[in-house]
Amino acid sequence: MRHAWIDASAGVAGDMLLAALHDAGAGLEALRAAVEAVVPGSVEISVRTVSRAGLRALKADVRPVAGDLPHRAWRGIRDMLAVADLRPGVRDRAVAVFGRLAEAEAAVHGVAADEVHFHEVGALDSIADVVGVCAALDDLDVSTVSAGEVALGSGRVRTAHGELPVPAPAVAELSRGWRVRSGGPGELATPTGMAVIRALAGRCEDLPPMSPVAIGVGAGGRDTPGRPNVVRVFVGAVDPVAAAQPAVLLEANVDDLDPRLWPGVIEGLMAAGASDAWLVPILMKKGRPAQTLSVLCEPSAVGALRARIFRDTSTLGVRESPRAKTALPRLFVAVEVGGVAVPIKVGHLDGVIVQVMPEFADVAALAARQGRPERAVLQEALAAAAASGLAVGALLPTGLEPGPRSGGSGGE
Ligand SMILES: O=C([S-])c1cc(C(=O)S)c[n+]([C@@H]2O[C@H](COP(=O)(O)O)[C@@H](O)[C@H]2O)c1
Ligand code: NI
């Protein structure tokens, strides 16, 4: 399993990513087969070597051929993806990208996402780009993706529906919460390219510590002197320890809070974005029994959680220290217990299962509903997981369909 990091510092488009991933080693036949499975006989994908401001890059060309697209609304494209003969990972990723694109289009045009209609040629193009990119990631055995700051461009762009400002409205919508900048004149990021990043990249980061095994360079249409119009994709193994994410630990010693308030304080901090919160009994200065409240969170959540600690506890000070946190990759798989689906959290490392556990909130809820001991439901859920091949030390089954995550807050 590998990580792909996308360098979109000069912009991004669906066909640029497609070409970059092929340049990084994804087989052209695998991409074509996946696209063919969704829109048979509708497009031809070819790749050629070009130069962009003196850099060698691959340029992908998607040419529509005979054949009409039966559906152009998002719900129709979703149905086409659902019935196409695609590997589950490719389908899930493609649905996620199109869903994100449809949400953005829906927001800017003021319609429901299901009603978003993609332009005839644009839709075929986007299907080829999106399905091709997802098939390429699958072919390269990429399990996680991240991307850096994205250059969006400036000025205006001519479209079938008239002249639009750059970033185009859908790109602007998709840029919410991501690090972006102009980066130069012209349309540097397209809606499809931005949707791929927003749907598939788990985080915005500069190049993470990794050992690249392949670097692909994908070209945009224009050759701009002095600024290579390319997207780059770094593919490689990420050292799980080196890939630890920045975190912050907030701490306070408290000796005078009514102990009955603590459960609500912890719950409130979790709901406000803490990744964990806990108490440790201590003996404080002057021999006073007290509690250390510890709250672990992402750096972006520090302000809100600090304020909450001051609001909800009696402390007069909060200590903050930078930490690094490594989270095991995990997915949720539903198993059936007594006719009810129970999400099982499966932690894995390098393709091997290292943790299998039902979410306890779901076990407790099912036990309460059925009037049975939690212990019995827990055992049955673990047995059902083992019967599905989810056991510690087993290889993570390929094509695992993730089930819904538990409704419980924060998991166990
Ligand atoms: O035609 C329309 S309505 C249109 C809307 C938007 C919005 O952002 S809304 C953008 N565009 C432009 O279409 C091309 C193709 O984009 P792809 O993502 O399919 O490559 C691009 O120039 C967009 O800015 C058109
Ligand atoms: Ni639009």
Confidence of residue 119 (pLDDT cuts 50, 70, 90): low
Radius of gyration in angstroms for the set of CA atoms belonging to the chain, rounded to a whole number = 24
Q: Which atom of ligand 1 is nearest to the CA of 15?
A: 20
pLDDT at 279 over 80: yes
Look-up of token digits 């036990």: 367
Mean pLDDT score of the chain: 90
Tell me the pLDDT tens digit for each residue of 218-242: 999 999 999 999 999 999 987 665 5
pLDDT at 411 over 60: no
10 Å CB burial of residue 73 (0-12, 13-18, 19+) is middle
- pLDDT for residue 406: 45
Residue having the nearest C-alpha atom to atom 13 of ligand 1: 159
123: enclosing H helix or E strand: helix 120-139
Q: How far is the CA of 160 from the centre of ligand 1 (A)?
A: 8
The interface predicted TM-score (ipTM) is 0.96
DSSP line for 179-194: -EE--SSEE-B-HHHH
pLDDT at 112 over 50: yes
- pLDDT for residue 242: 59
CATH assignment of 329-412? 3.10.20.300
What are the start and end residues of each CATH 3.30.70.1380 domain in the chain? 245-325
Task: Look at the chain and count its residues.
Answer: 412
- pLDDT for residue 404: 45
Look-up of token digits 């959540």: 301
Tell me the pLDDT tens digit for each residue of 150-183: 999 999 999 877 899 999 999 999 999 899 999 9
Average pLDDT over residues 292-312: 94
What are the start and end residues of each CATH 3.10.20.300 domain in the chain? 329-412
- Tell me if the bond preceding 322 is cis, omega within 30° of 0: no
The bound ligand whose nearest atom lies closest to the alpha carbon of 17 is: 1
| Pocket of ligand 1 contains residue 187 by CB under 6 Å | yes
| Pocket of ligand 1 contains residue 347 by CB under 6 Å | no
Separation between Cα atoms, residue 117 and residue 129, nearest integer Å: 17
- Phi and psi at residue 407, to the nearest 5°: -80, -15
Q: How far is the CA of 159 from the centre of ligand 2 (A)?
A: 10
Top mutation candidate among 190, 192, 197, 198 for ligand 1, by most atoms within 8 Å of CB: 190
- Phi and psi at residue 190, to the nearest 5°: -100, 165
- pLDDT for residue 89: 87
| Pocket of ligand 1 contains residue 380 by CB under 6 Å | no
Of 194, 183, 78, 72, the C-alpha closest to 133 is 194
Separation between Cα atoms, residue 304 and residue 307, nearest integer Å: 5
Q: What is the pTM of this model?
A: 0.66
Look-up of token digits 């461009």: 153
Q: Is 1.10.3720.10 the CATH classification of the domain at 245-325?
A: no
Q: How far is the CA of 109 from the centre of ligand 2 (A)?
A: 7
Beta bridge partners of 355: 347
Average pLDDT over residues 45-63: 97
pLDDT at 401 over 50: no
Look-up of token digits 């407790």: 364
Please say whether the beta carbons of 217 and 24 come within 8 A. no
